[in-house]
A and B are shown apart, each in its own frame.
Chain A
Amino acid sequence: MTIHMWLLFALALFCMGLYATLVRRNLIAILIGIELMLNAASINFMAFNKFVASDPVVGQIIVLFIIGLAAAEVAIALSIVLAVYREHANIDVSDLEELKG
């Protein structure tokens, strides 16, 4: 596969994640959309790493950092899901209207 095909593949994955993030109202489903977008970005980095970069180490390290940050993000997001569920007894973002400390 050429670099253009990899980039279009990643773009398709990103747009599917974007669509899921905009349409879904379940917090975990929105999180799934965000994960798809992060993975599309990772594929882009790996494709550029193979076809364009002169040093193939840097792209791999960036992807490892993306994976690590995604893990941290998911830990925080899931704890927010549990906190929201305890307050509202469901995890629909339409119900989250008040902002109180």
Chain B
Amino acid sequence: MIAGGLIVMLTIAGALIAIAQGNIVRAIFGLGVALAGVALAFLALGSPFVAAMEVLIYIGGITVAMVFAVMLSSAGRKEPAAPISRHLMAGLIALAFFVGVAIVITGAEFASPSEPASEAAWSVAELGRHLLNRFNVVFEALSVVLLLAIIGAIAIARRDEPEEVAP
């Protein structure tokens, strides 16, 4: 319970830095803290493997890629403060969404499974077996998506070289 509270506080604090900080590098640092909190939440929800993947891919890959993009573009430039009307509109939309969904969540009843899953069902071996049998098509489709994303990223980000003029 105390661990859960600490995880929530860490994640929310990181997310607050990420959304409120005008300096974009600090905002990315806040995102990293929030992602670490999410990884701890996955750990608390019983899956060390997914928590490790969260740390590896999100903190180790995505935030580092974002920092590189900042260094290549608007290095540390401060964003001008948004007008108050935009803050109000966005806050109103986010708050309305929060209140509406919170009412639904607090009113909902969730049935627990008839028999609790065994310890073996949580193992990484079982995860891999499902990934390569039952979800094999999705697994392969995701690998194709990643390949296309890499090729697309290179194609979009590449400088257009001036055409060689034939002599």
Please determine whether chains A and B interact with each other in the same assembly. Answer: yes
Residue numbers of A with Cβ under 8 A of B are: 1, 3-9, 11-20, 22-26, 28-29, 31-33, 35-36, 39, 42-43, 46-58, 60-61, 63-65, 67-76, 78-83, 85-86, 90-92
Q: Is the CB of A29 within 8 A of B34?
A: no
Q: How far is the CB of A83 from chain B (nearest CB, A)?
A: 5
A3's nearest neighbour on chain B, judged by CB, is B110
The answer to whether A39 touches B38 (Cβ under 8 A) is yes
A28 lies within 8 A of B112 (CB): no
- Give the total number of A-B pairs whose CB atoms are below 8 A apart: 227
| Residues of the B chain whose Cβ atoms lie less than 8 Å from the Cβ of A26 | 24, 74, 79
Contacts known (A9-B11, A60-B49, A76-B152); A28 close to B70, Cβ less than 8 A: yes
Name B residues whose Cβ lies closer than 8 Å to a Cβ of A.
Answer: 1, 4, 8, 11-12, 15-16, 18-19, 24, 27-28, 31, 34-35, 38, 41-42, 44-47, 49-50, 53-54, 57-58, 61-62, 65-66, 68-70, 72-74, 77, 79-80, 82, 86-87, 89-91, 93-95, 97-98, 101-102, 105-106, 108, 110-115, 117, 121-122, 126-127, 130-131, 135, 138, 142, 145-146, 148-150, 152-154, 156-157, 159
Is the contact region of chain B dominated by helix, strand, or loop, or is it mixed?
A: helix
CB pair B42–A46 under 8 Å, yes or no, is yes
**CA of A90 to CA of B154 in the docked complex: distance in angstroms?**
20
Q: Which residues of B contact A9 (CB under 8 A)?
A: 8, 11, 41
